[in-house]
Chain A
């Protein structure tokens, strides 16, 4: 469904990604793990066109998408839940969700989509008139994911959904991700919490200073001594 072919990205003179290739299969949950600054977010931003790879290709359902403006990539069926959530803090929860469905002009369908998000995250329904900035971190994460779902993405990119959340909240978020995946959305999950990510995915890539240094099935990688030592804290 998604293929990255040897992409390299830089910020000014600093190389952020070198020759990154990866593949996410339809219906799967794939994960990209690595330390802070390894280039995980840059990989997702390169997919969405928020930064431009200067080499290589990004293919979505066989079509080359690098070079296309971000809002058109979003319209093609990819949604990104960005790092730090980036909810519109000065808008209400409901308005955030409506913006998630910005491209849906059918009012009835928009309403049904919002109901579906409330089903996945009942907590949001209680908060619909509240400013998004006043939500707790976990609720903001729910909102950011819910907002992304509004566009019916076929591919959902998640950037560190567990960051800064209490364990109970992390559990709730990952249950929701499971559900979203079972309902047919392919997921690419970026995580610093490698333990969690490897448990919840089928395929994994390890990123280190902008390069893919390991890849394989998540179960395999979870048992790999190098991964264990560097990322699982064993």
Chain B
């Protein structure tokens, strides 16, 4: 029983990271009908920004938590800028092109970021500085680390903030309008280019947060770390129903749990395979995802 609860906590913790990254996929898909394959690389950049910022910030603020918060916020801002630049120069010029063109460009952007990063940061893995010294929290026979708690609480807080923004603010409402019908949104006087830009900024910032939270738990970072996580988060978004915010969170959690359970009770050899098994199953049996509606192509 304890071991199950332990796995549950680990799974939710991993799943909340997938959820953060999956949100970016799903939001961008919502406004542009584009799978931004470079999104996983933004997550990697988030971790690297965090790595360099940590070395500047660590020890300069009164507490470890504050150190981590400053590093995370600055890195989120950095990635938001990367997201905006990516949209402006790679996707906007071809927005009227076919979806296949967009997809190929997305893969190109991804390769560009991965290879440029190997050039700039070096291809060898780096050790992410320990921003918050690890302590153990015992609850009965359960063992948690303070880092796990921080990851969970931060991921949850970010998702709640995003939800409030999308469903309560004027700009969030505009974002939902854009994702439902771009032309109709323009007719309302909404500057849709600005909203699309903002969507990339938000999604990229969440990916950066994911990258840093992962690095707090598992400190090895490398320029290709975004490939597998990006793919898995994409599976999470599809599983939940791409374009659906709650779907991305649900998909992320399911995927994280599945992975941890497979590793814990089966064999850790198959932990990466489970994501793709889920992808194949969902595409076969419910292509619109758990919370997605059957898509009617707009005419």
Interface residues of A (CB under 8 A from B): 48, 50, 69-71, 74-75, 79-80, 82, 86-91, 95, 98-100, 102-103, 147-148, 151
Interface residues of B (CB under 8 A from A): 170, 173-174, 176-177, 180-181, 183-192
The answer to whether A74 and B186 have CB atoms under 8 Å apart is yes
Not counting A71-B190, A89-B180, a sample of 6 additional A-B residue pairs whose C-beta atoms are within 8 angstroms of each other reads A86-B181, A88-B177, A91-B177, A99-B188, A102-B189, A151-B188
Task: Name B188's contact: one of A69, A74, A89, A90 (CB within 8 Å).
Answer: A74
How far does the alpha carbon of A130 sit from the alpha carbon of B174 in the complex, in Å?
Answer: 18
Contact partners of A100 in chain B: CB under 8 A: 188
Q: Which of A75, A87, A99 has the most CB of B within 10 A?
A: A99
How far does the alpha carbon of A87 sit from the alpha carbon of B177 in the complex, in Å?
Answer: 9
Contact of A88 with B181 at beta-carbon distance under 8 Å, contacts A98-B173, A99-B173, A102-B170 already known: yes
How far does the alpha carbon of A111 sit from the alpha carbon of B104 in the complex, in Å?
Answer: 46
* 15 A-B pairs in the complex with CB atoms less than 8 angstroms apart: A50-B186, A69-B191, A71-B192, A74-B187, A80-B187, A82-B184, A86-B181, A89-B180, A90-B176, A91-B176, A91-B180, A99-B177, A99-B185, A99-B190, A151-B189
Q: Which of A71, A87, A89, A148 has the most CB of B within 10 A?
A: A71
Task: Name B183's contact: one of A50, A79, A87, A98 (CB within 8 Å).
Answer: A50
The answer to whether B188 and A102 have CB atoms under 8 Å apart is yes
Q: Which of A79, A82, A88, A98 has the most CB of B within 10 A?
A: A88
The answer to whether B180 and A90 have CB atoms under 8 Å apart is yes
Contact partners of B184 in chain A: CB under 8 A: 82, 86-88
Q: How far is the CB of A57 from chain B (nearest CB, A)?
A: 21
How far does the alpha carbon of A89 sit from the alpha carbon of B181 in the complex, in Å?
Answer: 10
Q: Which of B170, B180, B183, B184 has the most CB of A within 10 A?
A: B184
The answer to whether B183 and A82 have CB atoms under 8 Å apart is yes
Q: How far is the CB of A97 from chain B (nearest CB, A)?
A: 10
Contact partners of A71 in chain B: CB under 8 A: 186, 188-192
How far does the alpha carbon of A48 sit from the alpha carbon of B184 in the complex, in Å?
Answer: 11
How far does the alpha carbon of A88 sit from the alpha carbon of B208 in the complex, in Å?
Answer: 31
Contact partners of B170 in chain A: CB under 8 A: 98, 102
Contact partners of A69 in chain B: CB under 8 A: 186, 191
Q: Which of B183, B187, B189 has the most CB of A within 10 A?
A: B187
Contact partners of B176 in chain A: CB under 8 A: 88, 90-91
Contact partners of A99 in chain B: CB under 8 A: 173-174, 177, 185, 188, 190
The answer to whether A70 and B186 have CB atoms under 8 Å apart is yes
Q: How far is the CB of A96 from chain B (nearest CB, A)?
A: 9
Contact partners of B177 in chain A: CB under 8 A: 88, 91, 99
How far does the alpha carbon of A82 sit from the alpha carbon of B188 in the complex, in Å?
Answer: 11
Q: How far is the CB of A185 from chain B (nearest CB, A)?
A: 16
How far does the alpha carbon of A48 sit from the alpha carbon of B170 in the complex, in Å?
Answer: 23
Contact partners of A89 in chain B: CB under 8 A: 180
How far does the alpha carbon of A206 sit from the alpha carbon of B187 in the complex, in Å?
Answer: 26
Q: How far is the CB of B250 from chain A (nearest CB, A)?
A: 18
Task: Name B180's contact: one of A79, A88, A103 (CB within 8 Å).
Answer: A88
How far does the alpha carbon of A74 sit from the alpha carbon of B186 in the complex, in Å?
Answer: 8
Q: How far is the CB of B152 from chain A (nearest CB, A)?
A: 30
Task: Name B187's contact: one of A48, A90, A91, A95 (CB within 8 Å).
Answer: A48
Of chain B, the residue at the smallest CB distance from A100 is: B188
The answer to whether A70 and B187 have CB atoms under 8 Å apart is yes
How far does the alpha carbon of A91 sit from the alpha carbon of B170 in the complex, in Å?
Answer: 13
Contact partners of A75 in chain B: CB under 8 A: 189
Of chain A, the residue at the smallest CB distance from B192 is: A71
Q: How far is the CB of A177 from chain B (nearest CB, A)?
A: 18
Contact partners of A50 in chain B: CB under 8 A: 183, 186-187
Contact partners of B192 in chain A: CB under 8 A: 71
Q: How far is the CB of A60 from chain B (nearest CB, A)?
A: 15
How far does the alpha carbon of A74 sit from the alpha carbon of B184 in the complex, in Å?
Answer: 11
Contact partners of B180 in chain A: CB under 8 A: 88-91
The answer to whether B183 and A102 have CB atoms under 8 Å apart is no
How far does the alpha carbon of A197 sit from the alpha carbon of B190 in the complex, in Å?
Answer: 31
Contact partners of A91 in chain B: CB under 8 A: 173, 176-177, 180
Contact partners of A70 in chain B: CB under 8 A: 183, 186-187
Of chain A, the residue at the smallest CB distance from B193 is: A69
How far does the alpha carbon of A70 sit from the alpha carbon of B187 in the complex, in Å?
Answer: 6
How far does the alpha carbon of A151 sit from the alpha carbon of B184 in the complex, in Å?
Answer: 14
Q: How far is the CB of A152 from chain B (nearest CB, A)?
A: 11
Q: How far is the CB of A154 from chain B (nearest CB, A)?
A: 14
How far does the alpha carbon of A102 sit from the alpha carbon of B176 in the complex, in Å?
Answer: 13
Contact partners of A95 in chain B: CB under 8 A: 173
How far does the alpha carbon of A79 sit from the alpha carbon of B192 in the complex, in Å?
Answer: 16
Q: How far is the CB of A44 from chain B (nearest CB, A)?
A: 11
Task: Name B189's contact: one of A82, A86, A88, A103 (CB within 8 Å).
Answer: A103
